[in-house]
Amino acid sequence: MKVAIIGGGPAGLYAAILLKKQRPSADIAVYERNRADDTFGFGVVFSDATLDNFEKHDLPSYRRITQEFAYWDDIAVHFRGTVHRVGGNGFCGCSRQTLLLILQERARELGVVLHFEVDIEDESRFADADLVLIADGINSRFREKYVDHFQPEVDLRSNKFAWMGSTRPLDAFTFIFQETDWGPFIAHAYQYEAGHSTWIFETDPETFERAGLTGLNETQSAARMADIFGWFLDGHKLLTNRSMWRNFPMIRSKRWVKDNMVLLGDAKASAHFSIGSGTKLAMEDAIALAEAMERAPSIQAALEVCEHGRREEVEKTQHAADVSLVWFEHVDRFWEFDPVQFAFGVMTRSKAITYDNLKLRAPDFVAEVEKSFARQVRSNGFDVNTDRPMVPLFQPFRLREMEVANRAVVSPMCMYSAKEGVPSDFHLVHYGSRAIGGAGLIFTEMTCVSRDARITPGCAGLWNDEQETAWRRIVDFVHANSATKICLQLGHAGRKGATKLMWDGIDRPLDEGGWEVFSASPLPYFPDSQVPRELDRAGMNAVRDSFVAAAERGECCGFDMLELHCAHGYLLASFISPLTNTRSDDYGGSLANRLRFPLEVFEALRAVWPKHKPMSVRISATDWADGGITGDDAVAIARAFAEAGVDLVDVSTGQTVRDAQPVYGRMFQTSFSDQVRNEARVATMCVGNITTADQANTILAAGRADLVALGRPHLVDPFFTMKAAAWYGADGAFCPPQYLPGKDQIFRNSVRERQDIEELRIKAKPRTRAELKAAATKPLAAE
């Protein structure tokens, strides 16, 4: 078999090694345009888990690599004169040049032929090769040559960065967030061998301009960075090596394989440097290819297996990189944060590390985070313990005069079980049990303001006395038997009305018994849905008045809070999104126009809703569709509602149009809550695939939301909050007297269970290489 490899970076060399080991008789050659000992960049970084993978696949190169590595466990965050160190991270760094020399040496030993200073212009010279690996890096010539086939998507990010080096020794992966007169600069730095460290500097394009970096050459810009970070460099120099400022390209290719050619490493997909995974991805691509070649019956089959089998893993890493890079691009959002909360945000930015996880490995750091959070709560007038504080989820919160005992919320969820809009015994038990279960706040399902405002025939409403009586019974029960507050969510289905019950076909039009539906514009939801009538001014008045009448009834029922539903493509949302609003009057066109009617309804409600009671608005912060609402629009929408008197923005997303492309995942809407809260400076509630109290604490402690709503988890577990309280020992949690013996038992058992689980986790955790190395080098007397 003949294999030609274009590019002698980590991907190309490691693939050559693994394939040659597998097929010693194969003719494998690597073509590299640089000299053998040329290198651009300084160090590379691997996690312990990545090294474990290398150990499994090629022991000799693993041994040589790990002999050369600098190890560290801590991440240090420098911000506004403070430094927070978090241990247990298990990383190591090595010089990129050393890595390449080790891989070259190992490849040669195995019989791979290495050609240096050969720039491949055209792959036709490999016409007789069975397999051609395109490992020519981020600016891949061959990916571009076959751009129509590989279909790469190149997203050039806004921040500027430059890769430099220094002789400054470092004993931790170090982030420095530096304020300057021009704006914020960030350094990502780590040591990769004795006396050498990598320094990646990053800043936003405006700060870059203001700092005058545009016109500077490499040496001058290094001098400017040395000025800014001089206090930390401690007399050490900054070194350059093609250290030009660039914008990071996030690359994703739709196809990786063409005939007998396959893209590997940066050529096919890149991952932002802030998660340090570029070289890891490149070498793991080589592993995936070698594994596929071992098992598949033909080269073609192997390439397909490699592409399909590896894509998910690569996309997961890229998603984590995306989330991380966005955090750094928007670091100014958090600049006013308490430094320990800021550091917690750095640690948990890509969602891989959570509250409980950090508490195990850095208990002192998390204790500080808890205290800082409690101090903020105390400064808002709550008499909470700041020496031994409760976790954030069990810290109280206030909106106007409404206080909630904890920050767990039951999200609004239609039960599709009302008759003629009247909530039944099912609703009493449903809401009653969730209140007894301990959530600080529960939302009603979308409660419709008129008969024709319903989504389905099973939707609850509040337009007549019978409904008012039924809701009052529920509210009274909640108030009499729990400490939970209850919020009424009012909505109008718009074009999604007259549809089937969820379990009969969500959003599908009723076969019979439907009613006429309205929307901002006459656009049906499904092609075969009813075409809605465009709401005229008289219709708007009627809708607004029915919202006001329902709110007045809500007050008579005793609800503690009122939410206006402006999300998910229903009537008010249909005005806000340009995808559903094509009007040419004062209610269409610009965002200000599209917001006019929803704001008018909100203001009318605010005028009748008691001043001491809070109001929220639920929005779709993105439509997940081209041309639709984006996170930036959501900030403008939140600001407009905040000016009109909203106390909380309930940040949901999507459900506007059928062809949306949501990116699901754990806590997938949290970044929008974060953006709205920290750019519009308004309190937010986040929701969406948040399933554990650990995740809720992570979100709250990082300042990404003020309240956390859980929908589906509460459908199967009304006692979610009580169980979480027991887990964290929040024994002030309310419990009705009838259930106290149960509470006593779960609190007793949970403390023990938690200790057992934590001990098991600590025991099961392998020692990091840094710990092993430290133990091995410790003098005997110190053992």
Ligand X SMILES: Cc1cc2nc3c(=O)[nH]c(=O)nc-3n(C[C@H](O)[C@H](O)[C@H](O)COP(=O)(O)OP(=O)(O)OC[C@H]3O[C@@H](n4cnc5c(N)ncnc54)[C@H](O)[C@@H]3O)c2cc1C
Ligand Y SMILES: Cc1cc2nc3c(=O)[nH]c(=O)nc-3n(C[C@H](O)[C@H](O)[C@H](O)COP(=O)(O)O)c2cc1C
Which residues belong to the active site? 570
Contact between 135 and ligand X (CB under 6 A)?
Answer: yes
Contact between 136 and ligand X (CB under 6 A)?
Answer: yes
Segment (H or E) for 179: strand 173-179
Please, are residues 637 and 673 in contact by the beta-carbon 8 Å criterion? no
What string marks each residue from 567 to 586 as x (binds ligand Y by CB under 6 A) or -? x-------------------
Contacted by 618, from ligand X, ligand Y, none: CB < 5 to 8 Å by type: ligand Y
Q: To the nearest whole angstrom, how small is the minimum distance from the Cβ of residue 135 to ligand X?
A: 5
When binding is defined by CB under 6 A, the residue of 446, 642, 682, 726 that contacts ligand Y is 446
Determine the Cα angle at 492 with ends 489 and 494, to 5°.
Answer: 150
Q: How many other CB atoms are there within 10 angstroms of residue 164's CB atom? A: 24
Contacted by 535, from ligand Y, ligand X, none: CB < 5 to 8 Å by type: none
d(CA 389, CA 373): 9
What string marks each residue from 471 to 490 as x (binds ligand Y by CB under 6 A) or -? ------------------x-
d(CA 432, CA 631): 35
What string marks each residue from 172 to 211 as x (binds ligand X by CB under 6 A) or -? --------------------------x-------------
When binding is defined by CB under 6 A, the residue of 8, 90, 569, 688 that contacts ligand X is 8
When binding is defined by CB under 6 A, the residue of 317, 521, 652, 692 that contacts ligand Y is 652
When binding is defined by CB under 6 A, the residue of 19, 20, 43, 310 that contacts ligand X is 43
The residue among 96, 122, 139 whose CA lies nearest residue 267 is 139
Q: To the nearest whole angstrom, how small is the minimum distance from the Cβ of residue 648 to ligand Y?
A: 13
d(CA 422, CA 15): 66
Contacted by 711, from ligand X, ligand Y, none: CB < 5 to 8 Å by type: ligand Y
When binding is defined by CB under 6 A, the residue of 94, 211, 282, 353 that contacts ligand X is 282
List all residues 6 or more positions away from 557 whose beta carbon is below 8 Å from its beta carbon. Answer: 462, 468, 471, 472, 475, 488
Contacted by 45, from ligand X, ligand Y, none: CB < 5 to 8 Å by type: ligand X
Q: Which of residues 401-430 bind ligand Y (CB under 6 A)?
A: 411-414
Q: What is the SS3 assignment for 359?
A: helix
When binding is defined by CB under 6 A, the residue of 21, 23, 85, 141 that contacts ligand X is 141
In a 13 Å sphere around the CA of 250, the CA atoms on its Cβ side amount to 20
Round the CA-based radius of gyration of the chain to a whole number and report it. Answer: 29
Q: Which of residues 340-379 bind ligand Y (CB under 6 A)?
A: none
Binding region for ligand X (CB under 6 A) out of 50-58, 78-86, 260-268, 343-351: 260-268
Contact between 152 and ligand X (CB under 6 A)?
Answer: no
What string marks each residue from 690 to 719 as x (binds ligand Y by CB under 6 A) or -? x-------------------xxxx------
Q: Alpha-carbon torsion 761, 766, 767, 768, what sign?
A: negative
Nearest-10 Cα torsion for 379, 384, 390, 396: -70
Nearer Cβ to ligand X (117/744):
117
Nearer Cβ to ligand Y (180/433):
433
In a 13 Å sphere around the CA of 670, the CA atoms on its Cβ side amount to 31
Contacted by 42, from ligand X, ligand Y, none: CB < 5 to 8 Å by type: ligand X
When binding is defined by CB under 6 A, the residue of 37, 52, 117, 119 that contacts ligand X is 119
Q: Nearest residue by C-beta to ligand Y?
A: 711
Nearer Cβ to ligand Y (441/687):
687
When binding is defined by CB under 6 A, the residue of 136, 445, 647, 674 that contacts ligand Y is 445
Residue with the two structure tokens 């005028």: 607
d(CA 685, CA 670): 9
Nearer Cβ to ligand X (267/705):
267
Nearer Cβ to ligand Y (238/690):
690
Contacted by 614, from ligand X, ligand Y, none: CB < 5 to 8 Å by type: none
| Cα separation values, 506 from 261, 416, 500, 501, Å | 45, 11, 6, 6
Contacted by 414, from ligand X, ligand Y, none: CB < 5 to 8 Å by type: ligand Y
List all residues 6 or more positions away from 21 whose beta carbon is below 8 Å from its beta carbon. Answer: 58, 110, 290
Contact between 41 and ligand X (CB under 6 A)?
Answer: yes
Contacted by 282, from ligand Y, ligand X, none: CB < 5 to 8 Å by type: ligand X
Please, are residues 196 and 112 in contact by the beta-carbon 8 Å criterion? no
The residue among 453, 390, 281 whose CA lies nearest residue 700 is 390
Nearer Cβ to ligand Y (502/751):
502
Contact between 687 and ligand Y (CB under 6 A)?
Answer: yes
* Size, binding site for ligand X by CB under 6 A: 34
When binding is defined by CB under 6 A, the residue of 163, 334, 344, 416 that contacts ligand X is 163
d(CA 522, CA 359): 53
Pairing relationship of beta strands 684-686 and 707-710 according to DSSP bridges: parallel
List all residues 6 or more positions away from 308 whose beta carbon is below 8 Å from its beta carbon. Answer: none
Burial class (CB within 10 angstroms; exposed 0-12, middle 13-18, buried 19+) of 625: middle
The residue among 437, 93, 403 whose CA lies nearest residue 273 is 93
Helix ranges (DSSP H) in 691-768: 693-701, 712-716, 720-728, 740-764
What string marks each residue from 605 to 644 as x (binds ligand Y by CB under 6 A) or -? -------------x--------------------------
Q: To the nearest whole angstrom, how small is the minimum distance from the Cβ of residue 662 to ligand Y?
A: 11
What string marks each residue from 506 to 545 as x (binds ligand Y by CB under 6 A) or -? ----------------------------------------
Give how far the C-alpha of residue 289 lies from the chain's centroid of Cα atoms, to the nearest Å: 29
DSSP letter for each residue of 677-703: HHHHT--EEE-SS--SHHHHHHHHHTT
Residues that bind ligand X (CB under 6 A): 6-12, 31-34, 40-45, 96, 119-120, 135-138, 141, 163, 198, 242, 265-267, 278-279, 282
Interface ranges with ligand Y (CB under 6 A): 411-414, 445-446, 489, 502, 565, 567, 618, 652, 687-690, 710-713
